[in-house]
A and B are shown apart, each in its own frame.
Chain A
């Protein structure tokens, strides 16, 4: 079985400060890992993914994520947060034998204050 944990329900950060959203996962074998963002009354927007290779993945809107196999983590980061980054962020894992089934974490609400 695969699972994802996002230990923080909410992260508060001041505009211009670094933003980190934490994610740990559990899956058999090597994982495919994803980050999505959801704005109010919208679907999920894809930010970035880790498939294999370089542990630092760069994605949309200045976001990046670092894959750490030993810690089974895939934390999302942004060097300088914007007020417009305020949203709900979801980490997801897909096992290599799971077809397209994504297992999501519970989500982390990010609030960026001006």
Chain B
């Protein structure tokens, strides 16, 4: 079974631009979560989508948004990019949301560099 895939793998943008990252979950998984990884702040939860609905949201500004499609694929969008948005963005999928047996499986990430 194919794992979680993320596109693109690398991205360079300039301040003020916007960016869209894509995540395809493991087949059959309906929950997708997004995390930001930086050297300074570590791994931080952005949001979770389950059955096309945002279930949970982390403490990030409104410039960070996401959505999930009917096939469970998810996108996240960052508008008005800032230098501090440079990070590795990780997507994780699981079968459902919040159940005791749920394990999240991570994709390889998209590395975003903002110049």
Contact = CB atoms under 8 A, between A and B. Distances in A.
Interface of A: 32, 34, 36, 41-46, 49, 51-52, 90, 92, 96-107
A104 B58 CA distance: 13
A1 to B, nearest CB: 11
Contacts of B22: none
B33 interface: yes
B42 A106 contact: yes
A99 B90 contact: no
Nearest to A44: B106
Nearest to B4: A43
Contacts, number: 71
A95 B108 CA distance: 25
B48 A34 contact: no
B56 A43 contact: no
Interface string B98-111: 10111111111100
B15 interface: no
Given A99-B97, A100-B31, A100-B98, A43 B43 contact: no
19 contacts: A41-B108, A42-B109, A46-B103, A46-B106, A51-B100, A52-B100, A92-B43, A96-B98, A98-B98, A99-B50, A99-B98, A100-B50, A100-B92, A100-B94, A100-B104, A101-B33, A101-B45, A104-B35, A107-B43
Interface string B23-42: 00000000101010000001
A103 B46 CA distance: 11
The 5 closest A-B pairs by CB, nearest first: A104-B43, A43-B106, A44-B106, A99-B56, A43-B108
Interface residues of B, number: 29
Contacts of A103: 45
B97 A107 contact: no
Contacts of A51: 100-101
Interface in B65-115: 90, 92, 94, 97-98, 100-109
Contact of B58 (A34, A44, A92, A101): A101
B55 interface: yes
Contacts of B4: 43
